[in-house]
A and B are shown apart, each in its own frame.
Chain A
Amino acid sequence: MQTIDLLRDGFASALSWGHLLWALVGVTLGTVVGVLPGIGPALTVALLLPITFNLEPTSAFIMFGGIYYGAMYGGSTTSILLNTPGETASIATAIDGYAMARQGRGASALTTAAIGSFVAGTLATIALTFFSPLLAAVALRFGPAEYFALSVLAFTTVSSLLGESLARGLFSLFLGLALGLIGIDQLTGDARFAFGIPQLLDGIDVLILVIGLFAVGETFFQAWRHGRDEPEVVALERFTGMSREDWRRSWRPWLRGTAIGFPLGVLPVGGSVIPTFLSYSVEKRLSPRPEEFGHGAIEGVAGPEAANNAAAAGVLVPLLTLGLPSSATAAVMLAAFEQYGLQPGPLLFSSRPDLVWTLIASLYIGNTMLLVLNLPLAGVWARVMLVPRSILFGIILVLASLGTYSLNGSMLDVVLLFATGAVGCVMRVHDVPLVPAVLGLILGPLAELQFRRALAISEGDATVFLTRPLCAVLLAISAIALVLPAVLKRRAA
Chain B
Amino acid sequence: MTRRFSTALLWASAVLVCQPCAAQPAIDELRIIAPAAPGGGWDQTARAMQQVLQRTGLVRIAPVENVPGAAGTIGLARFIGNEVGHRDVVMVSGLIMLGGIVTHQSPVTLHDVTPLARLTGEYEVIAVPAASPFRTLRDLLDAFKAKPESISWGGGSAGGSDQILAGLVADAVGVSPSRVNYIAFSGGGESLAAILGSQVSLGVNGLAEFAPQIEAGTLRGLAISSAERVPGVDVPTLREQGIAIDFENWRSLVAPPGLAARDRARLEALVAAMVASPPWRETLARYRWLDRYLPGEGFTRFAVTEEMRVRDVLRKFTVGQESVRSAPEPYPWLVIAGLVITGALLVRQIARSSSVTPEASRPPRAPVVLLAVASALHLLLLERAGFVIAAALLFWLAARAFDPRHPLRDGLFATAVSVSSYVLFARVLHLSLPAGVLGRWL
Contacts and interface: CB of A to CB of B under 8 A. Distances in A.
Given A186-B184, A226-B367, A388-B403, A269 B395 contact: no
B298 interface: no
A393 B335 contact: no
Contact of B371 (A45, A220, A326, A395): A220
Contacts of A141: 197
A51 B68 contact: no
Contacts of A123: none
B67 A409 contact: yes
Interface string B120-155: 000000000000000000000000000001101000
B9 A28 contact: yes
Contacts of A10: none
Interface residues of A, number: 113
A162 to B, nearest CB: 11
Contacts of A325: 39, 187-189
Interface in A184-241: 184, 186-193, 198-199, 201-202, 219-220, 222-228
Contacts of B434: 405
Interface in B295-346: 325, 331-332, 335-336, 338-339, 342-343, 345-346
Given A224-B368, A456-B183, A33 B429 contact: yes
A49 interface: yes
B37 A397 contact: no
A398 B383 contact: no
Contacts of B77: 198
Interface residues of B, number: 119
A97 interface: no
A382 interface: no
B65 A347 contact: no
Nearest to B343: A171
A140 B218 CA distance: 12
A25 B9 contact: yes
A54 B17 contact: yes
Identify whether the interface residues of B are mostly helix, strand, loop, or mixed. Answer: helix
Nearest to A347: B216
Interface in B340-355: 342-343, 345-346, 349-350
Contacts of A406: 425, 431-433
Contacts of B212: 323, 343-347
Closest 8 CB pairs of A and B: A331-B39, A345-B212, A189-B158, A140-B197, A346-B216, A143-B199, A228-B363, A394-B395
Interface of B: 1, 6, 9-10, 12-13, 16-17, 19-20, 37-40, 43-44, 47, 50-51, 54-55, 64-70, 73-74, 77-78, 103-104, 106-107, 149-150, 152, 157-159, 181, 183-184, 186-190, 192-194, 196-197, 199-200, 212-213, 215-218, 286-287, 325, 331-332, 335-336, 338-339, 342-343, 345-346, 349-350, 361, 363-364, 366-368, 370-372, 374-375, 378-379, 382-383, 387, 390-391, 394-396, 398-403, 406, 410, 413-414, 417-418, 421, 425, 429-434
Interface of A: 25, 28-29, 32-33, 42-43, 45-51, 53-54, 139-144, 165, 167-168, 170-171, 174-175, 177-178, 180-181, 184, 186-193, 198-199, 201-202, 219-220, 222-228, 268-269, 318, 322-332, 334-335, 338-339, 341, 343-347, 373, 377, 388-391, 393-395, 397-399, 401-402, 405-406, 408-411, 414-415, 418, 421-422, 425, 430, 432, 444, 448, 453, 456-457, 459
